Amino acid sequence: MKHSLEAVGRFDAYRDLLLRWNDRINLISGETLADIDQRHIADCAQLAPLLPPDGPIADLGSGAGLPGIVLAILHPGREIHLVEADKRKAAFLVEASAQVKLPMVRVHACRIENAKLPPLVAITARALAPLVSLLPYAAKFLAPDGVAVFPKGKTAEKELTEAAQDWHFMVERFPSATNPEATILRLSNIHRVQP
């Protein structure tokens, strides 16, 4: 994926900051540091085309800003909410959005269920929790036509089967461009099964 020069500069600044902070607080696994561009940045950037073109989005359990900061770099004019309960990681997100010059990023340093968010056109969450735990947040925060975009590994089909016991949703599957064992799920029309 080709990026504008402005985006490339922002990715460079973000990568440098991430590596510096990772020495102090564990933002990404040490095993993936050498492959940060492919394993983290490209992996998150591939979510961008799956999101609605306009409207506010949120990255739940944003951690190192993956994918939230990456999506903000690709769409700097878009309102993006990063929800992170760990105060040190939230401090990193505030610093990163300032240093990388992403004025539309809003950091919520709180538990996801306590976040005050506008109706969202999309939510993302990467390596946060199984679908059964994520879908209640999707139902709470998404606008009626909103989508949830979740990258998943080998457990994707198992998670879908478990979630379908309590939830109705439409599911689209997209192969990951960065990991042959991963799938990106885009879920819409999410609502709890009536007993």
The 10s digit of each residue's pLDDT in 70-83 is 999 999 999 999 99
Percent residues over pLDDT 90 in the chain: 84
Q: What is the mean pLDDT of the chain?
A: 93
Closest by alpha carbon to 151, among 190, 124, 188? 124
Percent residues over pLDDT 70 in the chain: 96
- Across-strand partners of 174? 184
Q: Is the pLDDT of residue 1 over 60?
A: no
pLDDT at position 72, please?
A: 97
The Cα 21–Cα 64 span in angstroms is: 10
Cβ count near 112 (within 10 Å): 23
Entry pTM: 0.94
| Residue 109, token pair as written in the block | 């340093």
- Residue 24 CA: distances (Å) to CA of 19, 65, 161, 193: 9, 16, 39, 44
Contact yes or no for 34/28 (Cβ under 8 A): no
Q: Which residues contact 173 (CB under 8 A, 6 or more apart)?
A: 156, 183, 184, 185
Second CATH level (architecture) for the domain 5-192: 3-Layer(aba) Sandwich (3.40)
pLDDT tens, 118-168?
999 999 999 899 999 999 999 999 999 999 999 999 999 999 999 999 999
DSSP, collapsed to helix, strand or coil, labels residue 66 as coil
DSSP, collapsed to helix, strand or coil, labels residue 143 as strand
